Structure 1
Amino acid sequence: MNPLVSIIVPCYNQGQYLGEALESVSNQTFSNWECLIIDDGSVDNTAAVAQSFAARDSRFVYLFKENGGVSSTRNFGIEAAKGAFIQFLDSDDILEKTKLELSLLQLELPENKEVKIVISNFRMIADHKEASLPPFCVLDESLFNVEGFLFQWNVSFSLQMQCGFFDAALFKTIRFPENLSAQEDWVVWVSLFKMTNKAVFIDKPLAFYRINPSSRMMTLGIDDNKIKVLESFKAILSYDEYYRFSFDLISRCYDSNENFRIKLKELKKSNSYQTGLMIKKGLKKTGLLRPARSFFKLLVRLKAR
């Protein structure tokens, strides 16, 4: 099995880490790959680093685009990819040298004939791969289905895109939502498993996720991105799935969230309802007032005190 694998590396001002990421691509034991380095309008030394790799190895391709965010950059790479398989790699992360080889070997097994996604485990790094840390969650193959990604995401686990290895055919219709500044991976994972509910799990750390203070981290509670995520899922899920998911997310964000309970106490003291009104407006926009009705009844009771 010697198909072309397209490795998509979105970059924005990560020149200090990009060389290490690209070196991990260069070191892959499987050699039939193209690496698309998509520069999302960087103003640091990203271009110089990328072009130095492209100059010494024609499998590296440097492409520049106007700044549009990580989703538009990945989508740009998907459009340019020529491979039968796709591997994503963020510009500050690293692939184990056997990532491509072991993923393809799994797909060669007769029992995996219908499989289109291979998922590997990961470890975390701060400065050096040699000083890596265990993953922040325990991955289990039982989680890799629509139900798992919908209801256990950020409860039991979350999963970086570089942990996946994908049949490129999946991305004929799937793109990263460009209206989101966070949580876009979540939407794409659910979209992928709506198309194929089969995946193989390699319980080895074949990807390394960098702990970066500037990384986008998930915040608890309903913010603008959460509302936009709900809008994205509305286009993907059935009515029943969407209703169950939206109710679960509201419950997760408010009923079980210690931060929200603290906010409620502050609300009682301050008699300020701007937060509740903002949430109500957002939920109305996404058609979620019905599952959130109990929450708003609580606000009304608080207002009366």
Structure 2
Amino acid sequence: MVVSVIVPCYNQGDFLDEALESVYNQIYTDWECIIVDDGSTDDTETIAQRWVSKDNRFKYFYKKNNGVSSARNFGIAKASGKYIQFLDSDDILDSRKMQLSIDKLKEDKSNELGIVVSNFNMLSSDSKEVLPPFCEMNEKSLTFENFLFHFFSIQLQCGFFDIKLFESIKFPENLSAQEDWIVWINLFKDNPKFVFIDLPLAFYRINPSGRMNTIGADDNQIKVLGSLREILTYDQYHKFSVGLLTRYYDSTKLFRNNLKAVKKSNTYQGGLMIKKGLNTFGVLKFVKQILKKALKFKAK
């Protein structure tokens, strides 16, 4: 059973070698690794071609930059395996990831199991430190309701998927972030049969130059709503919309209450008294000028 590992790449040459090495070191050996270079301008191609030369299970494809969703969809179209393992180019897999996932699939006698999800850990930028995951995950976490209504999301490399699932599910190419969350919702909306492995078999790197640190997750929330509208029923979308509006209302209310508390504080009131005093004696403008010059001096 061939496993197709899909690695979308965009200017992550500093970490790509380590990511591909984690594929090469897999205990399970019947795999192909599809490296999709999404228009990188660094040394991504050089690194990828080195692995292609070393092992013909690695396959390199270059395409014009169009985002990670486009790269993943491209990789799925090129895949010849029965199963899909996603891996971002700055992350790594435990050497047992594929084998343990395959073992779980073989244990299933119903042939209905299409998703295996494992736990994960965080990895420091320099790979020297392994840290706890950014969220607590267990079998009960993996429900459609939790993904949608509680905004639960995990890294795609935690999953191991039957490729047939992606005959009808595509990554939304109009999104610059949260595309993986949309896909998890889509995967679990029909309550599929899955297995959870409570072992950290994937490692998510804390990367200062990574996509989630350079693109705000809120940049495309309107587009996210559009993507949800395409995959949810009317009732599901309505319930989600009401919950989202309530959440925003509560956060706005909390902000207003905190602002009121600040304005009532002795520090704030003292500042107002000083401002009024300076204004009364005609020196407020002069103080502002002094502060501006001090800030400019500090910035040099």
Q: Does the TM-score normalized on the shorter chain lie above 0.5?
A: yes
Q: Is the 8 A contact 2:125 2:207 kept in 1?
A: no
Query: Which residue identity does 1:51 align to in structure 2?
Result: Q
Aligned partner of 1:71 in structure 2 is: 69
Measured after TM superposition, the shift of residue 130 of structure 1 is 5.0
Change (3 A) 1:257 1:49: farther
Measured after TM superposition, the shift of residue 170 of structure 1 is 0.2
Change (3 A) 1:66 1:263: farther
Residue 46 of structure 1 pairs with residue 44 of structure 2: yes
Measured after TM superposition, the shift of residue 195 of structure 1 is 4.3
Aligned partner of 1:56 in structure 2 is: 54
Superposed, which structure 2 residues align to 1:10-159 within 5 Å? 10-110=8-108, 113-153=111-151, 157-159=152-154
Aligned partner of 1:170 in structure 2 is: 165
Partner-residue secondary structure (3-state), 2:220: helix
Distance 1:201 1:189 in 2: 14
Measured after TM superposition, the shift of residue 242 of structure 1 is 0.5
Distance 1:102 1:128 in 2: 27
Distance 1:97 1:222 in 2: 31
Instruction: Give RMSD over aligned pairs.
Output: 2.4
Distance 2:168 2:131 in 1: 36
Measured after TM superposition, the shift of residue 265 of structure 1 is 5.1
Partner-residue secondary structure (3-state), 1:165: strand
Residue 210 of structure 1 pairs with residue 205 of structure 2: yes
Measured after TM superposition, the shift of residue 151 of structure 1 is 1.4
Change (3 A) 1:18 1:254: farther
Query: Which residue identity does 1:232 align to in structure 2?
Result: S
Distance 2:252 2:209 in 1: 24
Query: Which residue identity does 1:121 align to in structure 2?
Result: N
Change (3 A) 1:30 1:262: farther
Change (3 A) 1:128 1:214: closer
Report the number of matched residues: 260
Query: Which residue identity does 2:49 align to in structure 1?
Result: Q
Distance 1:263 1:223 in 2: 23
Q: Is the 8 A contact 2:178 2:217 kept in 1?
A: no
Superposed, which structure 2 residues align to 1:209-288 within 5 Å? 209-217=204-212, 223-256=218-251, 261=255
Distance 1:215 1:257 in 2: 30
Partner-residue secondary structure (3-state), 1:235: helix
Query: Which residue identity does 1:32 align to in structure 2?
Result: D
Larger of the two Rg values belongs to structure? 2
Partner-residue secondary structure (3-state), 2:202: strand
Measured after TM superposition, the shift of residue 251 of structure 1 is 2.1
Partner-residue secondary structure (3-state), 2:61: strand
Measured after TM superposition, the shift of residue 196 of structure 1 is 4.6
Query: Which residue identity does 2:247 align to in structure 1?
Result: R
Partner-residue secondary structure (3-state), 1:13: coil
Which residues of structure 1 form unaligned runs of 5+?
270-305
User: Which of 159, 162, 185 matches 1:190?
Assistant: 185
Change (3 A) 1:198 1:19: same
Partner-residue secondary structure (3-state), 1:244: helix
Change (3 A) 1:162 1:69: same
Query: Which residue identity does 2:146 align to in structure 1?
Result: G
Query: Which residue identity does 1:114 align to in structure 2?
Result: E
Q: Is the 8 A contact 2:153 2:184 kept in 1?
A: no
Superposed, which structure 2 residues align to 1:280-299 within 5 Å? none
Q: Is the 8 A contact 1:119 1:202 kept in 2?
A: yes
Which residues of structure 2 form unaligned runs of 5+?
264-300
Q: Is the 8 A contact 1:145 1:198 kept in 2?
A: no
Change (3 A) 1:257 1:165: farther
Q: Is the 8 A contact 1:107 1:115 kept in 2?
A: yes
> What's the TM-score once normalised by structure 2's chain length?
0.81
Distance 2:96 2:182 in 1: 28
